[in-house]
Amino acid sequence: MNIQIVRGDYPFMFSGTIDKRLPAMERVLFVHHGTQQRLYPFALVSESGVINDALGKLKIAIFGKQGTLSALDAKQIKKSKQIVSVTAWSRQLDDQILSFEFTDNQIRDRETGSQWNMLGKVTSGSYIGRQLNEVDSGVHFAFALLAFHPDSDSYQRP
């Protein structure tokens, strides 16, 4: 997939070649586990709120929530645009692999209907007091991540 670079999507003071698989200034969550790595464009996470995926044998969940003000958008953060916050978690809790959904502005597991927050903690339901294990990840701009990790694959909606 080639995406045309438009005004405002070119990184300031970057003179390298732009990888055109994603818009250069698209925020992405980079998840890696062993030799496996994948990036999750914020735009896709924002559309669904939750992504259930697997990275090798590791079953992961990506949670996204709109409403964070960007620290990189304006001189005063209160005037910045809202962006999505994104976190990555292992879907395994004890011996069970959970699957998640985003409904009624809430993250819930399909197995018990328990409600979870962006920090991977249960706020109500059968698993109250429990927390998912965090998955090694980081937030980057697509151009920077792909410059250092050009072999990374990008999550595609099934």
Task: Check residue 19 and give its pLDDT.
Answer: 58
Give the least confident one: 45-49, 56-60, 77-81, 102-106. 77-81
Q: What is the pLDDT of residue 26?
A: 83
- The per-residue pLDDT for 151 is 87
Backbone phi, psi, residue 83, to 5°: -130, 170
Question: Residue 70 — pLDDT band, cuts 50, 70, 90?
Answer: confident
pLDDT band at residue 69 under the 50/70/90 scheme: confident
Q: Helix (H, G, I), strand (E, B), or coil: what is residue 70?
A: coil
- Is 13 or 36 the better-scoring residue by pLDDT? 36
Query: Taking the domains of the chain in order of start, what are their residue ranges?
Result: 27-152
3-class DSSP string for 100-136: EEEECCEEEECCCCCEECCCCEEEECCCCCCECCECC
Q: Check pLDDT > 80 for residue 8.
A: no
pLDDT, mean of residues 5-25: 59
Continuous segment of H or E residues that includes residue 62: strand 58-69
Residue type for position 129: G
Q: What local confidence, expressed as pLDDT, does residue 22 receive?
A: 72
Higher-confidence residue of 12 and 143: namely 143
Q: Burial, 30: exposed, middle or buried (Cβ in 10 Å; 0-12, 13-18, 19+)? A: buried
